[in-house]
Structure 1
């Protein structure tokens, strides 16, 4: 199951079990959380995390002259986030070890509490109050658990490494949207252009497919609502070295019924 499919499953699950006040919020945009709850009384976000998944990142650029790492000005997260300075200090003290991480990367050997603090701070900026996940890769109703963000360290083992990673996708402008549409037409794919740089087609495609390239740009299609609607996004060609945080579900975790009751009371309180 892809992360897009998992997010859709979680949204469907929450709606079926708890009501209609949940909506998709993030998608491919990492600056927003995945799911929003809004009943005009309270508003908060829920983050979907697969049993083994990434959980945030920021770019550090090696400065060979001074043998330190510079915090990239293009980062979407703030340097002021709890734990960031401790991580930068650590990699600076081990500059030679981390200066050429490659795509495999180099693990940071720090107290995981530092990573946990960073992840919490990052998600709190997105108004996240709860995490929804599965106890294993078998994604079904019986394996779904919900817990507060502050308890993330009780449910996941958290690790961190510095590695080179190709940047993800970004929004598309008017010109690139037309370029992508031209490629689809050349391939004989029938579709209708709709607002928001989206397309609609009657034939259902896979969640994310490679469209092609026009000049130096590559495009892909991401599913969105309503069904058979796809958002065209630009795939980046840049490679950066990132501090990357990862989560792995702990063995034996189960749904805490008291936590679930608190969640139910939160969204049903008068």
Structure 2
């Protein structure tokens, strides 16, 4: 059950400001934003490449100062020369129109050159200290790969400190050779019937998990709530991510961090 103390502790992602959203729309002092206040919604993006992408990944970038049109430089880097040969930026800036709080950054790739069951990792970096928001999410690590085929692993247990509940959940695992990282899918752990699953992978005891929609539509104007992991840990079959809960559409977040975990079958 959603706890009311979390609902009334919403704060801006870009500032430490609490408010009751039913009483007043919070604002941010422009002196605390910078000239643009640009940021990614999450430090990690796990992306399934697909034919309908038309060889382009669209990454959403937000900003706090929407008064004028703005341009923020961006770079793409990778430790793998092979990844750099496949993924590139068609332009070196993300462009915001006047009055708009978000814009898409395009990353080009060649679908025909993508290998099955291979993860491609690269970093997108927003450049310019005076252009970045105080949230400091100026770097996003992108893990891109072809969609995986999942099979049932059984019933696990999901514990949410944010929802203050523990429940049984169906757990799926990608059907891959044991030499590759393990990919898991937790079926609707927050809002049953919403279709909002939680995906994560484990490679040599290290969890990779992106910010994901939990299926709770907070309001039409504020949008959906996302679980946005900050740190992760593994203990036996229990995988934990200490997370913020954010509203990317509104540029807001609930106060505090919460331990969310799954215990596999």
TM-score normalized by the length of structure 2: 0.25
Find the structure with the greater CA-based Rg: 1
Q: Which has the higher contact order (CA 8 A, sep 6+)?
A: 1
Q: Which has the higher helix share?
A: 1
